[in-house]
Chains A and B, each alone.
Chain A
Amino acid sequence: MVVEAPSEFETQDLLINVGPQHPSTHGVFRMVLEIDGEVVKDLVPYIGYLHRGAEKLCENNDFRQGIGYMDRTEYLAAHNAELSYVMAVEALGEIEVPERAQWIRMILCELNRISSHFMFLGAFGIDVGVFGTPFIYAWRERETIIDLFEEISGDRMMYAYFRAGGLAWEVPANFENRVREVLASAQQGVKDFDGLLTENEIFIARTKGVGFISAEDAIEMGMSGPTIRASGVPLDIRKTEPYLFYDQLDFEPITANGGDVFDRYIVRLQEISQSIDLIGQCLERLQPGPITPERMPRMLRLPEGEAYIRTEAPRGEYGVYMVSKGGNKPHRLKVRSACLSNLQVLKQMSVGQYVADAIIILGSIDIVLSEVDR
């Protein structure tokens, strides 16, 4: 008599809560994974833990007071956030910005891009599992950049330095030398990271082929920034819709072909080097001059109208949509957040991968929760 063995075990799926308190969710973010053994079958993200009503608060504050709230929507790249906001105000009020202010804005935004990408490298290193070393390297480089920012604007993270029409005040006298010092140290930092992670076999084994998204899917889901450039789409707002003086600079968007986690890491690493080069080009073109237009009214009253200004923040397309109905306060301020749009593809990228990879994929999208939740 032949007894047939049962062909399948009865198994159950496990629901895992990667909760709001977790060392590697880059802020307060919650996702619920349904896993079968080690393979992720479903992923549900929960956001909103860091919602502070920044857009609503800006409706009660006039155009100069709102700058503080824009800093706090993206605290790792605050200059880029402020830039979109003041450019929207300038577009509505048709305010001319002097050249020197534009060049300095570009230098500060690129420096902020460098410091934000270093932060990504540090946090990503921890996600992949190296105990602390990339994180400390990243903060070592960020310290030099943030010290420079403190000498210019007085604050290390919430600068409130850009104003509608230019800058709040002039940069210190040794600005150029300090920037060159910072660039030299950042270059050393890039070399350290390159040596530590890029050719490491375990790192390559962990990140290649993981979290793939094709170019068509990325465009359809509205991604932007280094995450879409890593899938091969050369979408860089600095090139496609140049603002400030980016059309005078010589650079190409950095793309990669794989669309996986390793490519997102490489694109950001190379963008740091590209930003160092761009800052060098800007410093050559910097001339003395005024930093605000001659007649700036004390209280800005903007005519009726609406404006949508988008800039290339380190995480993608950061847009500010402003509606003004006369008066000195915006009627509606909406922030188009790059991280929120990029976060939509998390489920698509993670289903079918292992649990350990889901964490890495989340890290590679490089979100900052204050921008997702505002």
Chain B
Amino acid sequence: MSTEIFGIENVNVWVDGLIRVLLIVGFMTVVVMGLIYGERKILARFQQRLGPTRTGPMGLLQSVADALKLVGKEDLRPRNADPWTFELAPYLVFVPVFLGFVIVPFVLDWQIRILELGLLYFVAITGVNIVGWIMAGWGSDNRYAMIGGMRAAAQGISYELPLVLALVSVAMVVEVPLADGEVARGSLNLNEIVASQHEVPNIVWQPLVVVVFFIAGLAELNRTPFDIPVGESEVVGGPFVEYSGIRWSMFFLAEYAALLIMSLLFAAVFLGGWAWPAGIFTDEDWPRWAQALLVAGKASIFVFMVFWVRASVPRLRIDQLMGFSWKILLPLMLAQVMVNGLVLVYDWPEIILTVVGLIGIVALFAMVDRAVRQPRQRPASAAQLQSEAV
């Protein structure tokens, strides 16, 4: 089978796939290093100080220096570490994140592969991440690592549900123009999702979903306020405490690559990707580099918000974090899916979606407020222990 790439005709399909993969991998490595540098600089500005300034002009080569340092470190392995789980864990964390890049729509009709089940593929692949965390925690033969690994698994599984439901509620109402002029609703193909936003981005129709996606995305990325697995002041590194050098850098890179994917997905699904405000176009009207810049700008909004939240907000405890997901986010998302379904079936005007979404945001604020002001419930055994300790 042959296909064409960049205007070259009759290229073998496998070679074409390989070229795209290599391009994306190269692009991703550079951008991830830039993200690490950007995080340090932006966080520093939030704290009224300068970030890296010494390595290279304005500290731009800081990530390179970090990478060189990590490469040069000794490769330590605890004596009692389980050999298979310890060795394979970085790969199981790192590779699924890379695989997630297959479906990200960068510019018009250009992805590694356009999959009909794009969103399903993305959600399924990021679930494999969690197995890697557990393997890292258990294989390290270290109590802190095990605690961190278990916490990460619990958190990852809990926040998958609101994330998936958020994506589902967007995929439900996507308009796909069919060949005979009719409009079908519902698609998991990311290209179609972006194209359907050529007039109005999805953020207008689904404001609550955007907020929940942001929060659940923070939890999936293990970022503040959900970074208890890597809580620096408690378990000092969580499941990765026994890894050093290159192995540790693979976890680190995986985290930032996941951040990149999440931000590109956010730009594609909610902010309109390359289709808004450009509308339906061809490559002559709106050249590729302009589309890429548009997508990059939208993705950086998400990234900036993630850094901003990191600089301002404390860390949630594991039981509070789980309660937040199961008791607050999940019911809201189920209600949102139901409302979307009703609007689809009864063909109500879409403005109802916006109104319901805004009410949902107010409801979210109120539920969080009520949960915080209530006195803490402590398990009965804990109270008994307390009275014995006096």
State A251–B388 Cα separation when bound (angstroms).
39
Segment 374-390 of B: residues with Cβ below 8 Å from A: 375-376, 378-379, 381-386, 388-390
Q: Would you list which residues of chain B between 176 and 230 have a CB under 8 Å from chain A?
A: 224-225, 227-228
Interface residues of A in 321-364 (CB under 8 A from B): 347-348, 351-357, 359
CB distance from B46 to the nearest CB of A (A): 6
Taken together as a complex, chains A and B put the C-alpha atoms of A38 and B378 apart, in Å, by 12
Task: Return chain B residues, CB-CB under 8 Å to A15.
Answer: 143
* Chain A interface extent, by class: 35 or more
Which of B232, B310, B315, B388 is the most central at the interface, judged by chain A CB atoms within 10 Å of its CB? Answer: B315
Min Cβ gap A368→B in Å is 17
Q: Let me know if A129 and B314 touch, CB within 8 A.
A: yes
In the complex, the answer to whether A352 meets B314 with C-beta atoms within 8 Å is: no
Complex Cα gap A202–B46 (Å) = 19
Q: Are B312's CB and A130's CB within 8 A?
A: yes
Q: Does A206 contact B (CB under 8 A)?
A: yes
B233 within 8 Å of A by Cβ?
yes
Q: From known contacts A14-B143, A23-B236, infer whether A132 and B47 are also in contact, taking CB-CB under 8 Å.
A: yes
Residue contact A203 to B314, C-beta cutoff 8 Å: yes
Q: Are B43 and A132 in contact (CB under 8 A)?
A: yes
Q: Is A9 an interface residue (CB 8 A)?
A: no
- A-B contacts counted at CB < 8 A amount to 117
Q: Is A126 an interface residue (CB 8 A)?
A: yes
Residue B234 CB within 8 A of the other chain? yes
B373 partner residues in chain A, CB cutoff 8 A: 204
Q: Which residue of the partner chain, among A39, A133, A208, contacts B46 with CB atoms under 8 Å?
A: A133
Answer yes or no: B311 CB below 8 A from chain A CBs. Answer: yes
Residues of chain B contacted by A16 (CB below 8 angstroms)? 143-144, 147
| CB atoms of A348 and B389 under 8 A apart | yes
Q: How far is the CB of A201 from chain B (nearest CB, A)?
A: 5
Find chain B residues with CB under 8 A from A125 CB: 314
Interface status of B22 (Cβ within 8 A of chain A) = no
Instruction: Give the complex CA separation of A353 and B379 in angstroms.
Output: 9
CB-CB nearest in chain A for B307: A131
The smallest C-beta distance from B140 to any residue of chain A, in angstroms, reads: 15
B313 interfacial contact with A, CB 8 Å: yes
Residue B282 at the chain A interface, CB threshold 8 Å: no
Contacts of B371 in A (CB 8 A): 205
Could you give, for residues 301-338 of chain B, a 1 whenever the CB lies within 8 Å of some chain A CB and a 0 otherwise? 00000000011111111111000000000000000000
Whether B233 contacts A359 by the Cβ 8 Å rule is yes
A359 and B233 alpha carbons, distance in the complex (Å): 8
Residue A270 at the B interface, CB < 8 A?
no
Q: Is A60 an interface residue (CB 8 A)?
A: no
Task: Indicate the member of B234, B310, B375 with the most A CB atoms within 10 Å.
Answer: B234
**Could you tell me the distance between the alpha carbons of A146 and B346 in the complex, rounded to whole angstroms?**
69
Interface centre among A41, A127, A202 (most CB of B within 10 A): A202
A208 contact set on B, CB distance < 8 A = 372, 375-376
**A133 contact set on B, CB distance < 8 A:** 46-47, 311-312
Min CB distance B56 to A, Å, is: 23
- In the bound assembly, the distance between CA atoms of A140 and B225 in angstroms comes to 24
Residues of A within 8 A of B317 (CB): 205-206, 354, 356-357
B319 lies within 8 A of A131 (CB):
no
Residue among A23, A200, A217, A356 with the highest chain B CB neighbour number at 10 A? A356
Contact B233 A126, beta carbon cutoff 8 Å: yes
Q: Do A352 and B383 touch across chains, with their CB atoms under 8 A apart?
A: yes
Q: Across the interface, do A210 and B376 meet the contact criterion of CB distance under 8 Å?
A: yes
CB atoms of A356 and B231 under 8 A apart: yes
Residues of A within 8 A of B369 (CB): 201
Please, which residues of chain A bring their CB within 8 A of the CB of B47?
Answer: 132-133, 136-137
Answer whether residue A52 sits at the interface, using C-beta atoms and an 8 A cutoff.
no
Task: Name the contact of A353 in the complex, choosing from B143, B231, B381, B382 (C-beta under 8 A).
Answer: B382
- Return the contact of B389 from the options A14, A137, A352, A356 (Cβ within 8 A): A352
Check: A152 CB closer than 8 A to any chain B CB.
no
Residues of B within 8 A of A127 (CB): 233
User: B382 touches which one: A39, A137, A197 (CB < 8 A)?
Assistant: A39
Residue A180 CB within 8 A of the other chain: no
Knowing A130-B313, A202-B314, A205-B320, the reply to whether A356 touches B228 (Cβ < 8 A) is yes
Residues of A within 8 A of B390 (CB): 217, 348
CB distance from B107 to the nearest CB of A (A): 34
- Judged by a CB distance under 8 angstroms, whether A209 is at the interface is yes
Contacting pair A200 B313 (CB below 8 A):
yes
Q: Which among A136, A137, A197 has the highest number of chain B CB atoms within 10 Å? A: A136
- B386 and A351 form a contact (CB under 8 A): yes
B80 is an interface residue with CB less than 8 A from chain A: no
Q: Contacts A16-B143, A128-B314, A209-B376 hold; do A359 and B234 have CB atoms under 8 A apart?
A: yes
User: What are 22 A-B contacts with C-beta separation under 8 Å?
Assistant: A127-B233, A129-B231, A130-B313, A131-B232, A133-B46, A133-B312, A136-B48, A196-B312, A200-B314, A202-B313, A202-B315, A205-B371, A206-B315, A209-B376, A348-B389, A351-B385, A352-B382, A352-B385, A354-B318, A355-B234, A356-B315, A356-B317
